[in-house]
């Protein structure tokens, strides 16, 4: 359903009226397209404190020019900030220039891991989180602000390319930790998944379909998995993408074994997207409404992941990306079952990620969508729908492609240093942390 309020604020009378009434003024977001794959403008590289990062080679490959009057993006290297005095350099660096960032531009602050042996460094680096989240809520005009904690610039290249591109339009206020694993650079950064097989559950429609489309755009052979009742749609999506359709009940005890049997040559990317809602307040929620949501959204994810890892179906260098939700992080009235299932996904990611990397060389991450414009949200009553759209720093709903682009970044072969992360795709929702 079209966001008429967003369209209104894109007109001169609409801007005047909403400004006078003190209403939100969302800006149309610049998203990736084949014709305009990069942000338009320059990249301003600033430093606070003393840094040892060799950023220049990575930043040179983002597609942004190194100089210009109105920067499309700012990268502030604050990895060397170790005390309160050095935090003043963060203010001094950004204060004069932040207003000049172009609409739909990017601010990326680079921080260091917290040093458990130096509480002054830990305090200063943790301060960067409050700073970036706060700046994201005030910067406006469709611009985003994110914090990346890293120790090696090369390991963070896929992350910086993503955050400094139109692909990250609805990702803001996030703190992303990047390890120091040696990156696996693809032969072609435009089609990094060439030669790889990706399976997406719940891919016949909605967000799952967008994920399948994006992974196929990036070169993957996509297996479109959905329930038997959606077989016609699944086959249509697979045919359009040059992929393969696979229909089965993901909650069946043998679902993992059937997937492994259907993929004898193995799998590189596993996307757990299938999910359901059965909303009721707890006092009115029947046991079957509770169990059906937990079974689809969490139990099937656990069983299928375990089965595919045990069978060796997921190849070394593989990626697992599960779909959580801000309802699992912040809670939502009427969704105790859904919130529990999605919080469970977060627990799965945080526990499995280090072991899967050590034992199988596979990363495990999650995306946590906020208000995404789908057929489900279009059915929400008007006033609740408008509240959902406006209650984030970008003052609008996201699109399925926003979740898909974030998923594709986590599935990227060069994202091996990104592990155990839960990245919200919510426009920096005002709900939750």
Q: Which residues does the annotation mark as catalytic?
A: 338
Helices (H), 185-335: 206-217, 231-241, 255-262, 287-294, 300-311, 326-330
Number of other residues whose CB lies within 10 A of the CB of residue 306: 12
**CA–CA separation, 322 and 338 (whole Å):** 15
- CA–CA gap between residue 79 and residue 64 (Å, rounded): 22
* Per-residue H/E/C for 229-262: HHHHHHHHHHHHHCCEEEECCCCCCCHHHHHHHH
Strand ranges in 164-214 using DSSP code E only, listed in sequence order: 175-177, 197-201
Whole-angstrom Cα distance, residue 433 to residue 424? 10
Say if residues 90 and 81 touch (Cβ distance below 8 Å).
yes
The CA-CA-CA angle for residues 391, 393, 395, to 5°, reads: 55
3-state secondary structure of 313: coil
Query: Is residue 389 a contact partner of residue 344, using CB atoms and an 8 Å limit?
Result: no
Long-range contacts of range 226-229, CB-CB < 8 Å, 24 or more positions apart?
Answer: 226/201, 226/202, 226/274
- Lookup: tokens for 223: 């297996």
* Burial letters 222-259, b for 16+ CB under 10 A, else e: bbbbbbeebeebbbbbbeebebbbbbbebbeeebbbbb
Q: How far apart are CA 301 and CA 295, in angstroms?
A: 9
- List, in sequence order, every residue forming a beta bridge with 106; answer none if it has no partner: 73, 144
């Amino acid at each position: 359903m079209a966001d008429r309020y967003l369209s209104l604020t894109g007109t001169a009378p609409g801007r005047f009226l909403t400004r006078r009434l003190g209403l939100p003024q969302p800006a149309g977001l610049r998203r990736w397209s084949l014709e305009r794959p990069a942000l338009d403008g320059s990249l301003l590289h600033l430093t606070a404190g003393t840094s040892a990062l060799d950023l220049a080679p990575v930043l040179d490959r983002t597609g942004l020019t190194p100089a210009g009057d109105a920067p499309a993006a700012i990268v502030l290297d604050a990895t060397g900030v170790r005390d309160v005095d050095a935090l003043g350099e963060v203010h001094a660096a950004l204060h004069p220039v932040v207003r000049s960032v172009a609409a739909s531009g990017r601010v990326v602050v680079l921080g260091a891991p917290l040093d458990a042996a130096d509480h002054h460094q830990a305090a200063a680096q943790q301060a960067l989180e409050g700073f970036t989240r706060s700046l994201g809520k005030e910067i406006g005009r469709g611009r985003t602000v994110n914090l990346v904690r890293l120790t090696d610039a090369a390991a963070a290249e896929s992350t910086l390319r993503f955050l400094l591109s139109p692909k990250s339009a609805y990702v803001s206020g996030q703190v992303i930790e990047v390890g120091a694993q040696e990156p696996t650079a693809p032969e072609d950064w435009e089609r990094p998944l060439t030669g790889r097989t990706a399976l997406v559950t719940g891919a016949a429609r909605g967000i799952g379909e967008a994920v399948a489309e994006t992974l196929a755009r990036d070169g993957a052979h996509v297996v479109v998995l959905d329930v038997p009742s959606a077989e016609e749609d699944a086959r249509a999506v697979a045919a359009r993408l040059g992929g393969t359709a696979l229909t089965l009940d993901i909650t069946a005890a043998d679902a993992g074994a059937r997937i492994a049997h259907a993929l004898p040559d193995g799998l590189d990317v596993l996307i757990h997207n299938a999910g359901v809602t059965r909303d009721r307040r707890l006092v009115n929620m029947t046991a079957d409404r509770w169990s059906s949501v937990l079974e689809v959204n969490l139990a099937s994810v656990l069983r299928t992941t375990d089965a595919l890892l045990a069978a060796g179906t997921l190849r070394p260098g593989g990626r697992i990306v599960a779909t959580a939700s801000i309802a699992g992080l912040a809670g939502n009235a009427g969704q105790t079952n859904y919130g529990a299932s999605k919080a469970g996904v977060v627990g799965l990611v945080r526990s499995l990620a280090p072991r899967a990397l050590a034992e199988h060389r596979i990363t495990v991450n999650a995306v946590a969508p906020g208000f995404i414009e789908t057929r489900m949200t279009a059915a929400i009553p008007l006033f609740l729908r408008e509240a959902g759209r406006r209650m984030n720093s970008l003052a609008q709903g996201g699109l399925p492609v926003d979740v898909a682009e974030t998923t594709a970044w986590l599935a990227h072969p060069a994202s091996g240093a990104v592990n155990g992360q839960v990245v919200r795709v919510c426009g920096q929702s005002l709900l939750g942390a």
